[in-house]
Amino acid sequence: MSVQLWTYIFVFISFSLYIGIAVWSRASSTKEFYVAGGGVHPLANGMATAADWMSAASFISMAGLISFLGRDGTFYLMGWTGGYVLLAMLLAPYLRKFGKFTVPDFIGDRYYSRTARIIAVFCAIVISFVYVCGQMNGAGIVFSRFLQVDITTGVVIGMAIVFMYAVLGGMKGITYTQVAQYCVLIFAFMVPAIFISILMTGQAIPQVGFGSELTEAFGGGYLLDRLDGLSEELGFAVYTEGQKSTLDVFFITAALMFGTAGLPHVIIRFFTVPNVRDARKSAGYALVFIAILYTTAPAVSAFARTNLINTVNNAEYADIPDWFSQWETTNLIAFNDKNNDGRIQYVGDPEVNELEVNRDIMVLANPEIAGLPNWVVALVAAGALAAALSTAAGLLLVISTSVAHDLLKRSFMPGITEKQELLYARISIFIAVLIAGYYGINPPAYVAQVVAFAFGLAAASFFPAIVMGIFKQRMNKEGAISGMVAGFTFTAAYIIYFKFINPTANTEEFWWFGISPEGIGTLGTMINLGVALTICRFTPPPPQEVQEIVENIRLPGEAVRS
């Protein structure tokens, strides 16, 4: 059977599964719509969190980015997993004890202020929108490459599927589809990785193969030594050595960690489990499920890079394998025979190099480059779609709850009934799907850069405000509000300046302290903390009942949802 037929089969089966779950799990109350009724098993929530978290960026782009960054790619790996340690110990259990529906709920109640709530709503919506556009676009790319439909049709199909289960089922539908999507995406990521590991090193576990010797067919010697050797020979940076400054890597890693812990679509997943104990437990499960992919990804990066160099460098263009010409049509790989010798020179020197390789190809085309069976190649499409759609749904729910619950019910229209609130939640998720779809078809500049934006903003706004809300009883509304505004504005201004207003100045000599826009969220976090702590000293302490809330969320036992 052809790759395309296999792809249709996998995508059809997985989509039918998602729609089946959507019909089965219709939400009938706001509690079901916002937090899946609050009765999700920690294991199911762990899987749902992992799928919610691992987006098109993790599935399609990350391994490719690392294979071109080498050791510097570490900040993605540590940043996007280390944040869970912070989430599990500093946020999740206490927020679950607090027992409300959304992140702005916590900010609004803890800082006893409608202004704080509305600022939190604004941050949540900006962060989620920025992030969701990237997902829709990722889904569109997969559709266009694997199913030969154009990107617009691809995005519309993706929107229709998300619409089905998000609008009908809310958090309940999203949770159980995310469980299914986790299974699809991890299977789709691991099968090619295991195949390639066996092919190149004879080891079935990619994490072990990563540090093993290559088979004779691939030239023998340790994989990483061989890759270092090849890189040096061709004039690329040595794979296991860093190029970026230590300070910048430090700041980027920290920004990704704080951002991870502050992203509202991840935080609200912990509101769906029955109690505090289960919130801790499901953070553990979530990190295990995420770590399976995140420890495999760097191995895939090294395998794919070695394999690519072996296959293309100095190869006759006339004898190049089929996958090469197929990916050439999508412009993800481009050959320009500068010296007209009919051979591909793939080297570090831009004057001589004849091959441009898009980073995403390292995961998408990896099974083809390694000559794996057609069904394995097709799996990647289903996995990438699962990753993109699961994250998109989680983000859309944040937007919907922020509008219906925090903005309407809790701020401007407190008189509405539960039924009306549920209707508004469905309408806002519907509008959000349409806007996200529009930006998926007309993506703003670079998707990956835009996602880095979301992390910086979450790190500089929510993370410090929530942590201080729990750990510093004296923190008051004046401090928290000015901290959030200062952190958010500073980070947004720095990123917008270097990414959009003056991109030519986006080099180390112009950056403050040599910190890139990707890492500036860390400085934003510090500014937020500094401003909040200073203002808090000169303004009155929070009222008694708020201090009691803080004392209560610190203790074990169950809160009652209001």
Partner 1 sequence: MSNSRATSYWKSNLKIVSSLLCVWFVVSFGCGILLVDFLDNFRFGGFKLGFWMAQQGSIFVFVVLIYVYILLMDKLDDQYNEAAATDNDQGPSANSHQATEEQSA
Binding site for partner 1 (CB under 8 A): 66, 71, 73-74, 77-78, 81-82, 84-86, 88-90, 93, 207, 210-213, 222-225, 240, 242, 246, 249-250, 253-254, 257, 276-277, 280-281, 283-284, 287-288, 291, 294-295, 298, 551-552, 554-560
Q: How far is the CB of 85 from partner 1 (least distance, A)?
A: 5
Looking at residue 93, its amino acid is: P
- Which residue(s) pair with 357 in the sheet? 333
How many angstroms separate the CA atoms of 440 and 419, rounded? 31
How many angstroms separate the CA atoms of 413 and 331, rounded? 51
Q: How far is the CB of 192 from partner 1 (least distance, A)?
A: 19
Show Cβ contacts of residue 244 under 8 Å, excluding neighbours closer than 6 positions: 72
Q: Which residue has the tokens 């090193």?
A: 201
Closest alpha carbon to 388 in 234, 538, 178, 151: 178
| Closer to partner 1 by Cβ: residue 222 or 317 | 222
List the beta strands (DSSP E) in 299-450: 333-335, 355-357
Show Cβ contacts of residue 239 under 8 Å, excluding neighbours closer than 6 positions: 70, 71, 224, 227, 228, 231, 302, 305
Q: How far is the CB of 285 from partner 1 (least distance, A)?
A: 9
| Closer to partner 1 by Cβ: residue 287 or 312 | 287
Q: How far is the CB of 295 from partner 1 (least distance, A)?
A: 5
Q: Where are the alpha helices (DSSP H) in 202-275?
A: 206-209, 223-234, 246-262, 264-267
Pull the structure tokens for residue 221: 């010697």
Q: How far is the CB of 77 from partner 1 (least distance, A)?
A: 6
Looking at residue 476, its amino acid is: N
Q: How far is the CB of 558 from partner 1 (least distance, A)?
A: 5
Q: How far is the CB of 387 from partner 1 (least distance, A)?
A: 19
| Closer to partner 1 by Cβ: residue 147 or 238 | 238
- Torsions phi, psi of 112, nearest 5? 35, 50
| Closer to partner 1 by Cβ: residue 63 or 157 | 63
Looking at residue 345, its amino acid is: Q
Q: Where are the alpha helices (DSSP H) in 147-222?
A: 151-201, 206-209
| Closer to partner 1 by Cβ: residue 150 or 558 | 558
- Torsions phi, psi of 405, nearest 5? -85, -55
How many angstroms separate the CA atoms of 404 and 246, rounded? 44
- Torsions phi, psi of 73, nearest 5? -65, -10
Q: How far is the CB of 233 from partner 1 (least distance, A)?
A: 18
| Closer to partner 1 by Cβ: residue 93 or 367 | 93
How many angstroms separate the CA atoms of 381 and 131, rounded? 21
Q: How far is the CB of 209 from partner 1 (least distance, A)?
A: 9
Q: How far is the CB of 554 from partner 1 (least distance, A)?
A: 5
| Closer to partner 1 by Cβ: residue 30 or 203 | 203
| Closer to partner 1 by Cβ: residue 248 or 354 | 248
Q: How far is the CB of 362 from partner 1 (least distance, A)?
A: 15
The CA distances from residue 135 to 56, 95, 153, 167, 548, in Å, are: 6, 27, 15, 18, 41
| Closer to partner 1 by Cβ: residue 194 or 416 | 194
How many angstroms separate the CA atoms of 139 and 363, rounded? 15
Asked whether the beta carbons of 128 and 46 are under 8 A apart, the reply is no
Q: How far is the CB of 471 from partner 1 (least distance, A)?
A: 8
| Closer to partner 1 by Cβ: residue 67 or 401 | 67
Q: Is the dihedral of CA 284, 287, 292, 296 positive or negative?
A: negative
Asked whether the beta carbons of 441 and 155 are under 8 A apart, the reply is yes
| Closer to partner 1 by Cβ: residue 255 or 425 | 255
Q: How far is the CB of 294 from partner 1 (least distance, A)?
A: 6
Asked whether the beta carbons of 390 and 181 are under 8 A apart, the reply is yes
| Closer to partner 1 by Cβ: residue 158 or 298 | 298
Count of C-beta atoms within a 10 Å radius of residue 64: 25
Show Cβ contacts of residue 93 under 8 Å, excluding neighbours closer than 6 positions: 276, 279, 280
Cβ neighbourhood burial of 556 (10 Å; 0-12, 13-18, 19+): exposed
| Closer to partner 1 by Cβ: residue 135 or 516 | 516
